[in-house]
């Protein structure tokens, strides 16, 4: 699902957007497999060895524990991944996350001072990293699990340069318009009536 256009300002366009790298789902996937194998083993254990009330209680307890682990360590990370957006427009950088309680931060490109990245050994293998954007006044914007982080860093620098050029052109245009408005219009020069010279000969009778 793309970023809603109604939330963009006039003249703002989305250059690219993404979710965190899929490696954020790697550990939840492993946990899910472990829970499924453990659930199968525990249910067979309580069904074959225990009987009666003990088997019933053990079966229900197994399902409850498995559901709790899946919700906390599988479903919640997956929902966080699905609802997290990294949006880069020609005016700002937008980070949104959360399903029920939404969290976000907007960083205008005009406040960007420096863009750097950090890639670990795993990041070099799976092509992801941490993008750090330093600002003039606020705390740095740190975006984790950015796919192809080196390419994204170059793109952010490009957007920053284009935004600087756009703002310089806007300031120059405003200055020119202000200068034109300050200069009063010059009144037209008065026209002299045409009079005959004094030595003109009188008309003949």
> How do the pLDDT tens digits run along the chain, 205 residues long?
577 777 788 888 899 999 999 999 999 999 999 999 999 888 887 777 766 677 778 888 889 999 999 999 999 999 999 999 999 999 999 999 887 778 888 999 989 999 999 999 999 999 999 999 998 777 899 999 999 999 999 999 999 999 888 878 877 776 677 676 665 666 666 666 655 555 555 555 5
pLDDT of residue 198: 56
User: Distance between CA atoms of 13 and 35, rounded to whole angstroms?
Assistant: 44
pLDDT of residue 77: 92
Q: Which two tokens stand for residue 86?
A: 């990294």
Give, in degrees to the nearest 5, the angle at Cα 18 between 32 and 123. 65
List alpha helices for 71-193, DSSP H. 76-83, 121-126, 149-182
Measured from the Cβ of residue 196, the count of other Cβ atoms closer than 10 Å reads 6
| Cβ pair 90, 82 in contact under 8 A | no
User: Distance between CA atoms of 122 and 77, rounded to whole angstroms?
Assistant: 19
User: Distance between CA atoms of 65 and 92, rounded to whole angstroms?
Assistant: 44
User: Distance between CA atoms of 68 and 100, rounded to whole angstroms?
Assistant: 19
What three-state secondary structure class fits 144? Answer: strand
User: Distance between CA atoms of 12 and 5, rounded to whole angstroms?
Assistant: 9
Compute and round to an integer the Cα radius of gyration of the chain. 35
| Cβ pair 153, 116 in contact under 8 A | yes
Q: Which two tokens stand for residue 133?
A: 């954007």
The model's pTM? 0.73
């Amino acid at each position: 699902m793309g970023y809603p256009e109604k939330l963009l300002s006039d003249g703002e366009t989305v250059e690219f957007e993404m979710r965190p790298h899929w490696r954020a789902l790697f550990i939840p996937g492993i946990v899910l497999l472990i829970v499924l194998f453990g659930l199968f083993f525990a249910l067979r254990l309580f069904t074959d060895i225990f009987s009666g009330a003990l088997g019933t209680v053990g079966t229900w307890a197994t399902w409850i524990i498995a559901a709790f682990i899946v919700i906390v360590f599988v479903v919640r990370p997956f929902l966080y991944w699905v609802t997290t957006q990294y949006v880069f427009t020609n005016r700002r950088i937008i980070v949104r996350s959360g399903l029920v309680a939404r969290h976000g931060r907007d960083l205008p490109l005009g406040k960007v001072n420096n863009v750097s990245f950090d890639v670990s050994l795993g990041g070099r293998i799976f092509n992801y990293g941490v993008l750090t954007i330093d600002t003039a006044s606020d705390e740095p914007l740190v975006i984790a699990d950015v796919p192809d982080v080196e390419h994204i860093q170059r793109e952010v620098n490009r957007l920053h340069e284009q935004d600087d050029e756009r703002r310089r052109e806007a300031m120059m245009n405003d200055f020119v318009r202000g200068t034109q408005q300050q200069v009063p219009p010059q009144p037209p020069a008065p026209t002299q009536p045409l009079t005959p010279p004094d030595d003109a000969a009188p008309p003949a009778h």
